[in-house]
Structures are given as C-alpha cells and as structure tokens.
Amino acid sequence: MSSGQPIVKLENVSFQYDAKRKVLNQINLNIYPGDFLALLGPNGSGKSTLIKLILGLLAPQQGKIYLFGEEQSRFKAWSKIGYVSQKANSFNTGFPATVYEVVASGLFGKAGLFRRLKRKDRETIIKTIQRVGLEHVIHQPIGQLSGGQQQRVFIARALVSQPKLLILDEPLVGVDAESTQRVLELLLTLNGEDGITLLWVSHDIGAVTSNVKQVACLNKTLFFHGDTEQFVNHRKEILAQMYGYDVEIIEHAH
Amino acid sequence: MIEVLLQYTFMRHALYSGLIIGLIAPLLGVFLVVRRMSMIADALSHVTLTGIAFTLLLAKYFLFFQEMNPMYMGVAFAIAGALLIDRLRQSYRFYQELPIPVILSVGIGLSVVFISLANGFNADLYGYLFGSIIAITRSDLILIQVIGALVVVIIILFYKELFALSFDDEHAQVSGIPRRWINLIFILLAALVIASAMRIVGVLLVSAMITLPVAAALRIAKSFKQCLFYAILFGQCSVLVGLYVAYLYDLAPGGTIVVTACLIWSGVLVGQRLFKTMSV
C-alpha cells in the first residue's frame, strides 16, 4: 500500500450521540498521502459522523485523531483540508451570491482575519472555477444553476484553498449525468496529477469501486480497509460480514 | 427640499439620524435575513423597550436616572438580550428559533410590569413604541453616530467571515473561521442597530427597517454585494421620502418611513412582474 506518514490517523476512535447507542466503535484508520479511498457503508453506518470527527465538527468520546501528524486539537492548518458536504445538495437556493462569491469564500479561512483577498487570490478563484468547467456562469447567482453545477461550485470552493486532502460526502447524490462525468474525471486528475489525497464517502458501491484505489467498509466498526482489487475479490464475504447477512450485489453498468 | 428641512435643528437631527439608521439597519438586515434570523430584530426591540421602561421606573425613585438618556439602558438591555438568545440557541440546538419568541414575550411582559410600577403610560413611552424621530436630542444623535460608525467599521472588517458564516456556517467553521467569536460579534451588532433604530421608527416598526429594504433587494440582486447595495439604497430612499412626506402632511414620521419602504418593496414586486410579462 501507500508509504510515508499518514495524513489522517484515527486511533481507537469511538463516538456516541447519546448514552444508549454507539455510532462508531473503536475505529482505527490511516489515510496516506496519495490515497484515493472510498469509505463505504449503508445509510446510518456512521460515515458522515466519521467525517465530522475528522473535521473537528464533533469530538470523539474515546480515542485520538491526528491530522498531518499533529494532534487534532493543536491542528491549525485547516486550509490543507477541503470538504464537500452532503448538505451542499440542500442549501438555501435563494441566497443572493454568485458562483465567484461562493468559491471565494473557500479562501476566507486561509486568508485570515482582517486580510483582504489579493490579486493572486482572485486569479486562483477564477482558475478553480475554470477547473470545474463553470467559467461561463461565473457571475450568475448559484440559485439559477442546476444541481450538478451547484455541486461543482462546492467542489471548487473546497479546492480553492489548494488542499492536500479533499473529503467528499456523497458528492454524486442528486447530480445529473454530465456533471457526474465531469466530477469523476476531475477527481481522477486531482488524485493522479495533482497528488491530492481523496476521501470519498458513498453508499453506492458499484459507482465507486471502478474509480478508487482503496476501499474502507464501515458499519459502526471498520470491517475492511485495503486495496480496491482485494475488496472486489472478497466483496461477498466482506459485505456479508458488514451487513450481518448475505447480500447480492446488483451490478451497475459504467 | 433639503434646505427647508435643515432650517430647524430638530429636522437636522431627524435627517442625520434617519440616514444613519437607513444605512445600518438594511446593511445588518441583509445578514440577518439570509441567515433566517430576521425575527431576532423584533425580540431585541422589545427587550430594548424593557430597558427604557426600567429607566423610567428608576427615575421615579432616583434623581440620577431622571437625567440619564433612557436609550443607554435600552442599548444595555438589548445587548443582554442578544447574549441570552445566543446562549439559549446553544442549549436548544434543534429548536434554534424558540428563544426568539420567548425573549420577545418576556421582554414585553417585563416592560408592562415596569411601566405600571412607574407612573403608567406617558407620552415619552408612546414615542418609543412608534418612534419619535423629530424628538431626537443631541445626545441621541451622538449615540446613533457612534453606533453607526462602529457597525459600519466592524462589518467592513469582518465582511469575509460574516459572508462565509451566513452562506454555510458548517463549511466556514471547517475552513478555519472562528465561528463562535464572529457569531457573538454579529449578534452584538444586531443589538446595537436595533436599539438605535428603535428611536427612529419605534419598537413595533424596527423589524420593518431591517427587513423591508432587504426583501426588495433580494428580488433584484444578482450577487451578495448588489444585495447590500440595493438594500442600503432602498433604506436611504425610505428615510428621505418618508421624512419629507411626514413633514409635508404632518404624519407620524416612523410610520411614514415604514410605509414608504413598503411601497418601494411592492413597487419592485409589481415592476418585476410587468417586466416579465413584457419580455415574454
């Protein structure tokens, strides 16, 4: 597998929203530079919770999280991590902001308080918008865009701070065919050419495994973490274990 | 028109303070409305009234408070109310709108108790309920100027962060923006704006100055900056036209300003519809 120091390291991480129900139990997971990892699991398996823990939106009751070798509580370089949330699909479409304004907001945290964006920042914003293929709608209100275009705006917002790790929570849900194709191509170039580490959260096994390098299967605990090839060869056993019963995989044609 | 108005000191005070409020109320209003927090304006204006009623009560027993401008206590109460709403929103994470009607009704309840303990209803209080722009004193104007300058400077300084938090506060937090602090500053600004706007249009009409220009601006703005620009433009027009018409026909200025804002808003809606039918 990959080498070097892990950029995300979870050590015995457990989390629960209330006393009765453990959402995540004893998770150990390393993500290495250059990985393209799919985090798979059924709805309610704790995938989004795991992401929120990595991002510091939630704090684990047990265990430790390290980001880029630093303990999470001391980690400050949040612009190294880009995040495309699932919620992006249900934001306030009446918000009066252009594609440019939304993508620019991805740089605000990196720029810091009391600092305005400079000319170089503006160039980066425009280049990032070109990268997701939306330069023709750059000054349009985001509410007027299609669902797939909006999702590309959110990917651009995550990319504009030039992160080393990009986390995408179900980025293809509610996205049309054209945008799906564009997003997939973009993710492959980001990982292949730019060397950005990708963590792709999905419940759709077929769509993901044809593109990613590694797979992790989660259902409250981690059932598998390894190369995609290994996963595909032992898919039936892994999934049976994860769901607790035999499942038939319905193949998607891709 | 301006020369006629400016002959009188009270009209000068009214015009200056009106224009400042017509700037800061819609400016802050844009952020409040897009964050779906516009109801907060109503709650905080009622809490401001509690502070004013409290001063009137104290003035009955202590000479010191007879000399004090009730606005100061109003501003202090609005700030306390804002902090309380902020605190309660943390404890009711899934019912974030709940603290607003609670604070609103407690505010008005306490006001009524204080008023009855003081000498009951008087003309001053009527002014605070419906606005008394022509009764603006020099000390009111100074307070409004200080608040106005503070609000504009802080919004310019934190524009990036306020925009990011308004659009998507989870993402803003993930990208390293200090969410708690900026939200606290924001709610304190809201308290200042509302407490000072109350002097102009009154407790019952404050939220109109915060929301009506924004409601009109939202219909035509193509970007966030445009939305801010139009909201302020409509705010200024409402104050200028409203004040002038109120002077001409001897109407209640606060109400006339609000009615003007409402006419601008309906004008935008109707104009848009006509434009759409014509271009089809």
What's the average model confidence in pLDDT over A208-213?
A: 85
User: Is there a domain that residue A122 lies in?
Assistant: no
Calpha distance B199→B210 (Å, rounded): 14
Closest CB from B34, B167, B170 relative to A57: B170
Q: Is residue A253 part of a domain?
A: no
Q: Where residue A187 falls among pLDDT bands split at 50, 70, 90?
A: very high
CA B85 to chain centre: 17
Q: Which residues, including other chains, have CB under 8 Å from residue A158's CB and lie 6 or more apart? A: A82, A83, A84, A106, A166, A168
What is the rounded average pLDDT of the residues A215-220? 90
Domain membership of residue A30 (yes or no) is yes
B171 CB neighbours in chain A (<8 A) are 83, 85, 105-106, 157
Q: Are A105 and B163 in contact (CB under 8 A)?
A: yes
The per-residue pLDDT for range A16-44, each reduced to its tens digit, is 988 878 889 999 999 999 999 999 988 88
A110 within a domain of the structure (yes/no): no
B180 CB within 8 Å of a chain A CB:
no
Which of A68, A98, A105 to probe by mutation at the B interface, max B CB count within 10 Å? Answer: A105
- For residue B167, what is the nearest residue in chain A, using CA coordinates? A95
Query: Given a cut of 80, is residue A91 above it in pLDDT?
Result: no
Residues from chain B contacting residue A100 (CB–CB below 8 Å):
223
A161/B34 CB distance under 8 A? no
Residue B185 in contact with partner chain A when CB distance is under 8 A: no
**Number of helices followed by number of strands (H, E) in chain A:** 9, 10
Residue A46 placed within a domain: yes
Domain total of chain B? 1
Residue A53 lies in a domain: yes
The CATH number of residue B100's host domain is 1.10.3470.10
In a domain, A43, yes or no: yes
A104 part of a folded domain: no
Backbone angles phi, psi at A195, to 5 degrees: 70, 25
pLDDT tens digits, B144-183: 999 999 999 999 999 999 999 999 989 999 999 999 999 9
Q: What residues are paired with A198 via a beta bridge?
A: A36, A166
Which residues of chain B lie closer than 8 angstroms to A92, CB-CB? Answer: 34, 36
Nearest CA to CA, how far is A142 from chain B (Å)?
Answer: 9
Phi, psi of A91 (to 5 degrees): -80, 175
Domain limits for position A29: 8-91+164-243
Average pLDDT over residues B210-228: 96
Provide the CATH number for the domain around residue A213: 3.40.50.300
Domain extent at residue B79: 2-279
How far is it, in rounded angstroms, from Cα B31 to Cα B169?
13
Interface confidence (ipTM) of the complex: 0.89
Confidence (pLDDT) at A93: 79
A6-33 residues labelled b (16+ CB within 10 A) or e (exposed):
bbbbbeebbbeeeeeebbbeebebbbbb
Is the Cβ of A161 closer than 8 Å to some Cβ of chain B? Answer: yes
Residues in contact with B41: Cβ distance below 8 Å, sequence separation at least 6, in sequence order: B29, B32, B190, B194, B206, B207, B210, B211
* Per-residue pLDDT, A1: 46
Total domains in the fold of chain A: 1
When scoring B171, B181, B229 by the number of chain A Cβ atoms within 10 A, the one with the most, hence best to mutate, is B171
